[in-house]
A and B are shown apart, each in its own frame.
Chain A
Amino acid sequence: GDSVTQMEGPVTLSEEAFLTINCTYTATGYPSLFWYVQYPGEGLQLLLKATKADDKGSNKGFEATYRKETTSFHLEKGSVQVSDSAVYFCALTGGGNKLTFGTGTQLKVEL
């Protein structure tokens, strides 16, 4: 079945550092790929998405590119802020409209 693997955390960075959170997936066909973010005490909200190969999703300075050849969808941001501290989830929607998540990566950004 479908699965998503993302790097374990926590990831601790200094403000203005470069961020990469790795995500790879296994799915049949052509899934859509998503990054969701969860701030403390809240539900998940969509950060960005890409629905076909080579698409780049972007939002709030975050970017991720759908790489079908490497089955990856790595999240990047050039300069993180303290307010970016949260848990980030990579996810995919495959056949049957079922949304499958990775285990989440906690990001802590310090001054």
Chain B
Amino acid sequence: NAGVTQTPKFQVLKTGQSMTLQCAQDMNHNSMYWYRQDPGMGLRLIYYSASEGTTDKGEVPNGYNVSRLNKREFSLRLESAAPSQTSVYFCASSPLGQKAEAFFGQGTRLTVV
């Protein structure tokens, strides 16, 4: 089972460039999430999608946009990358329901120079 698949694994961008991080899950989960992980900050929620067709802002949404393309896919777009967006990005998915655990992808290490 693939679980949650993120692409790419590594990326270097120049300031002002745009890119889209891709995430797909094959577990038929309703909810999907994008987090960023920075040293000393833990995981901070950027956006989440409780179900297909809905998206909501998390704790740190500025500078990002998302698309829930279908039930499987949830992409994160940086329109104009900034050095402050250098981070490790994780996608996660979970079944609907408060008691359900989340499953994480392997992460995308993004550096903006």
Q: Which residues of A contact B (CB under 8 A)?
A: 31-32, 34, 42-46, 49, 51, 89, 93-104
A-binding residues in B (CB < 8 A): 4, 31, 33, 35, 40-45, 48, 50, 56, 58, 90, 92, 94, 96-102, 104-107
Q: Is the CB of B99 within 8 A of A93?
A: yes
Given the complex, which residues of B lie within 8 Å of A43, measured CB to CB?
4, 90, 104-107
CB–CB A49/B101 < 8 A: yes
Query: Of all chain B residues, which has the CB nearest A47?
Result: B101
- Report the Cα distance A97→B99, complex, angstroms: 9
A-B contact count (CB 8 A): 58
Once the chains bind, are A44 and B94 in contact (CB under 8 Å)? no
How far, in angstroms, from A71 to B85 measured CA to CA in the complex?
33
- Contact in complex: A104, B104 (CB < 8 Å): no
Q: Determine how close the nearest CB of chain B comes to the CB of A27; give it in whole angstroms.
A: 11
Are the C-beta atoms of A99 and B42 separated by less than 8 Å?
Answer: no
B101 A46 Cβ-Cβ under 8 A: yes
27 contacting pairs across A/B (C-beta < 8 A)? A32-B99, A42-B106, A43-B4, A43-B90, A43-B105, A43-B106, A44-B43, A44-B90, A44-B92, A44-B102, A44-B104, A51-B98, A89-B43, A93-B99, A93-B100, A95-B98, A96-B56, A97-B50, A97-B96, A99-B92, A99-B102, A101-B35, A101-B42, A103-B40, A103-B42, A104-B42, A104-B43
